């Protein structure tokens, strides 16, 4: 598999970046007529560097030529997030200029680690001046990611030093280790257009993952299904694209107008779509203004440029060089990944404020008084390992699902499951049996205590009930749990022998009903009344008409199965069907069938009682009904 490395130019306008790319690759990246007329790059352009050496080293080197003009820094920002190796171009006749420094800051904020400094146009200056320019570069780049970058001298127009530069680019590219916090496929779209006979085409850099022709994917933030019809990499048709590739994709998607720069292609259920992110912001030392609550900003991440408003946690303003935690409210939805780099610029005038990493995607609503708590939370996220991050995300939810963790962390499913197994082994989390749902151990114990309190309160209020219905528990809890989620929690508590369940009623393990002397007498009275007229006992209403206090005793006798309830108002002795079975066995010795009227007479009862009893006999398979006639059942 080829190693894909994206190389990007950076530098001030008219320092020869595009000319340098042409000298390196033979291609003119100024593709727009206005670019050729004005002699400046307006859009980022893409090409590649290929020779025998790249083939031998199995390198696929994509090159991004970004605009240098201050007005087009937004175009540079849209490309900067995917750059692995920066070619920082400085014109020998001008030296380091404002856009050179701004580009350098942006690359550093976006996480670029490797750089080559290229002094171009050396044919225009003498050696003494060139020496001064090199000293100035060393001074101005001190303390940046390009501090120790090698400096090469070239003239793109005269082809001086180009061969040496090519070799150095290839040498550095081979050494670059590309690490990413995102593991899911992530492809930010930086261009979208249509071609006659082909349809919708998008271009971008596949940050991570793999794509293949025919693959069904999703377009975010809309979360709409798409399909790859075909792909190209540096004008070559390919069947499969790997991480780090510059890829043009022919999509099976009807309306290109629904796709915008900054949209992302990834797999199903892998990204959140949101207008809110929380992050750590590093404010540049070089700015000459304060950052205040409510400032409107331009937000850049991936290929996105979106307007937004910032809220600084714990304070009203911040100053150059400070690091702060912020929430950004965006005017359009985006689909970022966890720890994605971003840059902020002022609304007006357009100046780079700083940048940082996204720590919370689609955070929960925050209250103003909780600023200190939010700062502590974000500071923790900024410092801890990804395993501890998973634990923290689970702890901040009542119950957490695998898909949620996948979207919050941008990890592969198998890697999340592996880390969750470690957390389970360490007794940090509890798995809720099915559908990949989890609860933090502390939250589980807290929830178990709350459930136990609800049940205990119910026991106190309803002394003669065996327990509380599950739905009653759910309605009494202050937490929002679905029926399915509560069932999972209760099943674990049953397995741990902390709770018991009888007849769909939940009780504390040590709960026992203790009747008072008065209640024992009431119990004996009700049972005797039922047994006095065995097959035609008094109904519930009749018993309560005598004494309203008997209601709880009647319910208790039903729950303990000492009485059998067959109708809303009718109760019978618990052994009634043992007696009926003997009666029917004796009857069917001389008869093949029985009708309702015959059954009524057999019991010396009334039709009201005989009907419900005979229907229950059908259910118990003591009898089998065919029309209005019953036959002996299998269980008789």
Question: What structural domains does the chain harbor?
Answer: 3-175 (3.40.50.300), 187-266 (2.40.30.10), 274-377 (2.40.30.10), 517-573 (1.10.10.2770), 576-632 (1.10.10.10)
Are the beta carbons of 291 and 312 closer than 8 angstroms? Answer: yes
Are the beta carbons of 20 and 118 closer than 8 angstroms? Answer: yes
Any idea how long the chain is? 636
Give residue 82's pLDDT. 66
How many other CB atoms sit within 10 Å of the CB of residue 356?
Answer: 22
Q: Give residues with Cβ within 8 angstroms of 315, minimum separation 6.
A: 293, 324
Cα distances (angstroms) measured from residue 409 to each of 16, 338, 568: 40, 5, 55
Give residue 54's pLDDT. 82
Percentages helix, strand, coil for the chain, rounded to the nearest 5?
A: 35, 30, 35
b/e per residue 165-176 (b: at least 16 CB within 10 A) = bbeebbebbeeb
Give residue 71's pLDDT. 45
Are the beta carbons of 56 and 167 closer than 8 angstroms? Answer: no
Give residue 39's pLDDT. 38
How many other CB atoms sit within 10 Å of the CB of residue 552?
Answer: 15
Q: Give residues with Cβ within 8 angstroms of 72, minimum separation 6.
A: 41, 42, 43
For the full predicted model, state whether its pTM sits above 0.85.
no
Give residue 80's pLDDT. 52
Percent of the chain topping pLDDT 70: 93
Place of tokens 């510059």: 246
b/e per residue 601-620 (b: at least 16 CB within 10 A) = ebbebeeebbbebbebbeee
Give residue 43's pLDDT. 41
Give residue 244's pLDDT. 77
Low-confidence ranges of the chain (pLDDT < 50): 30-44, 68-72
Give residue 257's pLDDT. 86
**In the chain, what is the straight-line distance between the N-terminal and C-terminal CA atoms, in Å?**
75
Give residue 35's pLDDT. 33
CA proximity to 458, closest of 445, 441, 471:
471
Give residue 478's pLDDT. 85
Give residue 74's pLDDT. 54
């Amino acid at each position: 598999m080829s190693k894909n490395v994206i190389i990007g130019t950076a530098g001030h306008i008219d320092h020869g970046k595009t000319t340098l790319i042409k000298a390196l690759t033979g291609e003119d990246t100024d593709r727009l007529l206005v670019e050729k007329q004005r002699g400046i790059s307006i859009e980022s352009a893409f090409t590649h560097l290929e020779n025998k050496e790249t083939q031998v080293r199995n390198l696929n080197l994509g090159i991004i030529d970004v605009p240098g003009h201050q007005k087009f820094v937004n175009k540079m920002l849209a490309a900067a997030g995917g750059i692995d190796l920066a070619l920082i171009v400085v014109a020998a006749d001008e030296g380091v200029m404002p856009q050179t420094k701004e580009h350098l800051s942006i690359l550093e904020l976006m996480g670029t680690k490797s750089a080559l400094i290229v002094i171009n146009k050396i044919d225009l200056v003498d050696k003494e001046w060139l020496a001064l320019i090199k000293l100035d570069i060393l001074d101005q780049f001190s303390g940046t990611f390009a501090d120790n970058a090698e400096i090469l001298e070239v003239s793109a127009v005269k082809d001086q030093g180009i061969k040496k530069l090519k070799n150095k680019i290839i040498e550095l590219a081979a050494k670059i280790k590309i690490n990413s916090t995102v593991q899911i496929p992530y492809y930010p779209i930086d261009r979208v257009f249509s071609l006659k006979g082909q349809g919708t085409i998008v271009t971008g850099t596949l940050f991570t993952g793999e794509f293949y022709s025919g693959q069904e994917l999703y377009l975010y933030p809309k979360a709409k299904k798409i399909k790859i019809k075909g792909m190209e990499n540096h004008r070559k048709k390919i069947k499969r694209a790997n991480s780090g590739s510059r890829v043009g994709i022919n999509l099976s998607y009807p309306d290109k107008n629904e796709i915008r720069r900054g949209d992302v292609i990834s797999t199903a259920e892998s990204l959140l779509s949101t207008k809110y992110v929380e992050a750590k912001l590093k404010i540049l030392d070089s700015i000459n203004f304060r950052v205040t609550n409510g400032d409107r900003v331009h937000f850049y991440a991936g290929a996105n440029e979106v307007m937004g408003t910032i809220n600084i946690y714990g304070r009203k303003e911040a100053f150059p060089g400070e690091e702060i935690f912020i929430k950004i409210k965006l005017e359009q939805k985006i689909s970022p990944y966890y720890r994605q780099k971003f840059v902020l610029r002022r609304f007006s005038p357009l100046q780079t404020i700083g940048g940082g990493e996204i720590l919370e995607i689609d955070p929960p609503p925050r209250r103003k008084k909780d600023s200190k708590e939010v700062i502590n939370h974000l500071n923790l996220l900024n410092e801890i390992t990804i395993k501890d991050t998973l634990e923290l995300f689970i702890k901040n939810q009542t119950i957490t699902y695998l898909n949620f963790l996948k979207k919050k962390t941008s990890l592969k499913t198998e890697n999340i499951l592996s880390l969750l197994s470690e957390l389970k082994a360490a007794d940090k989390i509890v798995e809720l049996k099915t559908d990949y749902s989890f609860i933090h151990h502390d939250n589980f114990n807290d929830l178990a205590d709350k459930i136990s309190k609800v049940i205990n309160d119910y026991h106190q209020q309803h002394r003669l009930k065996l327990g509380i219905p599950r739905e009653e528990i759910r309605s009494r809890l202050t937490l929002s749990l679905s029926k399915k989620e509560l069932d999972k929690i209760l099943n674990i508590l049953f397995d741990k022998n902390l709770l018991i369940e009888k007849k769909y009623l939940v009780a504390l393990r040590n709960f026992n009903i203790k009747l008072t002397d008065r209640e024992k007498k009431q119990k004996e009275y009700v049972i005797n009344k039922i047994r006095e007229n065995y097959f035609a006992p008094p109904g519930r209403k009749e018993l309560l008409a005598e004494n309203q206090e008997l209601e709880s005793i009647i319910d208790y006798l039903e729950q303990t199965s000492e009485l059998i309830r067959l109708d809303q108002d009718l109760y019978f002795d618990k052994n009634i069907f043992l007696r009926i079975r003997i009666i029917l066995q004796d009857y069917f010795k001389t008869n093949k069938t029985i009708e309702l009227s015959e059954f009524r007479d057999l019991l010396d009862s009334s039709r009201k009682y005989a009907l419900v009893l005979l229907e229950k006999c059908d259910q118990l398979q003591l009898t089998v009904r065919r029309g209005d006639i019953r036959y002996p059942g299998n269980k008789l």
